[in-house]
Structure 1
Amino acid sequence: MRVSPLWKYIGCGLVLLIAMSAATHAAGTPVIDIDAEDAAAPWSQADGAGAANEIVREAFARSGVPVRLHTVPYARCKAEMLAGSVVGCIAVGANEALGTRARLPRTPLYRVRTVLVSREHAPIGSCDAHTWPASATVGRVNAYEYAPRFEQALAATHVAVSELGSEPQGLRMLVAGRIDALVLQLDSLKTLDYVQRQAGAQAPLQVACDFGPLDSHIGFSVRHRDGAFALAAFEQGYAAMLADGSVERILDTWRERLLKSPSPPR
């Protein structure tokens, strides 16, 4: 059948309109820049892998939103999210100090427990901060959020505080005797044994105190123009993942991986 030149032009025009519509739609979905901590294995690792990172990527994929993850030290992750130079940060603790400075999803990525770890027979061996000697030094990770009971205990003492770059660094300092105690965020994936093996700091340690739970979220910037959009997109995808069991499958995969790995990535 012969096609008139007019119909050829109409057909070409329709193809062009469809292509332009698709391009416009794609351009209308911003790429979300998210920082992820580089030293919070197995949740978030320097190589960009990690259980939390994997969950976040898939949640955004479910909502059709492209993301770029940048692995950085936690202090930078948090500072850039608060300043609005990135849309989000994996992962921030939902404590009073953070307050309304960040947008947090209704459901956390995971829950940690804030514990104080010391060497056996160390001067800090209990939750009673009044018994901690003033000469003692407690290590904490710079900019980390901790359970309120720990912050209250620390405020009630005159011990020195050493601000550290990461928990593995703190464990090496603890084993070497350079600090007297170290506050850690532990959970079912990131156990004390795991962090010790990651740090290469195998020595007899004790959990001197458990200060209680703290929810860990992907935090979204209040200042960034895409903060509210990203929060909504993440929550939509995350809810779908929780409903169909995808989150638990990712966590099960990481549990199996950790059981088979004698030496966590450093």
Structure 2
Amino acid sequence: MMKLFILSAVMACSAAAWAETVTIGAEDDWAPYCSKVGNDAKGFAVDVVREAFKAAGVEVKFALVPYARCMSEAKEGKLVGCFNAARNSLLENDYLWHAKPMFNARINIYAPADSSESGLTPKSLEGKDVAVTNNYEYGDDFDRNTKIKRSVSNQDEQGFRKLLAKRVQYMVAYEKVANAIFSKNKAEFTGKFKAVGMTAEPGLYIAFSKKHPDSAKFVEKFNQGMEAIRKSGKYKSLETAWP
């Protein structure tokens, strides 16, 4: 009888610990921030989202899908939200946003390693063939510039292969993501590319759905959680774990 009482108490405490559960869309191929490893979401942004919601008493589950689909399903209200979105003027009115970015990330312009160029900006890319990844944001100056000739791939890795094969003149990619790709493909990519400029260093967010009935509530929960993990030092420990 005592064992049954203890088990019931443990189950009650466990249920109380998670007042609510939410499913958030997460990109499946964007290491080291978020990617699918086995059947699980792994990465710095994954840990930030998980810990922030946890601090607000919310258990988060991740729906791992390609980024374009993730953002589309959040916009349509099929998902509460999707990360990692680089908030910009093109997205601003389509989603709800939490107060502060989860992190900032530098976006580089890459050229072949023998390039002598440096200091390039989005304006420098006008009229050039530039590899990009489907539905990614690269900063307002790039995203709104219709004079840039975009060669769209489904993954960053494919874009770098286009650059390697000289099918494009440049590739734009987030610096840490590019470094992870180079490390993964050492034999093929080592010493083949160089950063010759940057497009932006935007803040990355969860883009919360305007159509999902629970979104506004979870925006506030996430705001509370982010503030809590920054004050507690948990956020700093996550940064240390994902240099």
Structure 2 partner of 1:137:
129
Inter-CA distance 199–150: structure 2 relative to 1 (3 Å threshold): farther
1:127 aligns with 2:117: no
Offset of 1:192 from its aligned partner?
4.2
Alignment of 1:1-266 (within 5 A): 30-47=20-37, 48-121=41-114, 126-127=120-121, 129=123, 134=127, 136-152=128-144, 154-155=145-146, 157=147, 160-186=149-175, 190=176, 192-200=178-186, 201-255=189-243
Q: Distance in 1 between matches of 2:177 and 2:209?
A: 30
Which stretches in structure 1 are left out of the alignment for 5+ residues? Answer: 1-14, 256-266
Larger radius of gyration: 1
1:230: how far off? 0.9
Question: Within 1, Cα distance between the matches of 2:135 and 2:71?
Answer: 8
TM-score by length of structure 2 reads 0.83
- Could you tell me how far apart the structure 2 residues matched to 1:38 and 1:104 are? 21
Code of the residue aligned with 1:160 in structure 2: it is K
Pairwise CA distance, 1:216: 0.4
Q: Whose strand fraction is larger, Structure 1's or Structure 2's? A: 2
The offset of 1:210, in angstroms, is 1.4
Equivalent position SS for 2:202: strand
C-alpha distance in 1 between matches for 2:34 and 2:53: 17
Give the superposition deviation at 1:195.
3.0
Compared with structure 1, are the counterparts of its residues 65 and 164 closer, same or farther at alpha carbon in structure 2 (3 Å cutoff)? same
Q: Do 1:94 and 1:214's aligned partners in 2 also have CA atoms closer than 8 Å?
A: yes
* Partner Cα separation in structure 2 for residue 131 and residue 221 of structure 1: 33
- The answer to whether the Cα contact below 8 Å between 1:82 and 1:101 also exists between their aligned partners in 2 is yes
Contact 2:138 2:200 in 1 (8 A): no
Structure-2 separation of matches of 1:128 and 1:193: 21
Q: 1:123 to 1:55 in 2, by over 3 A?
A: same
CA contact (8 A) 1:127 1:210 kept: yes
Q: How many residues align?
A: 227
SS at match of 1:223: coil
Q: 1:92 to 1:81 in 2, by over 3 A?
A: same
- Give the residue type in structure 1 aligned to 2:205: H
Kept after mapping to 2: 8 A contact 1:44/1:52: yes
Structure 2 counterpart SS, 1:225: coil
Q: Distance in 1 between matches of 2:241 and 2:105?
A: 19
1:252 partner letter: T
Read off the aligned partner of 2:109 and give its amino acid letter.
L
Shift of 1:66: 2.2
Q: In 1, are the aligned partners of 2:132 and 2:159 still within 8 Å (CA)? A: yes
C-alpha deviations, 1:113-142, integer Å up to 9, x for none?
22211114569863374675x5x4211111
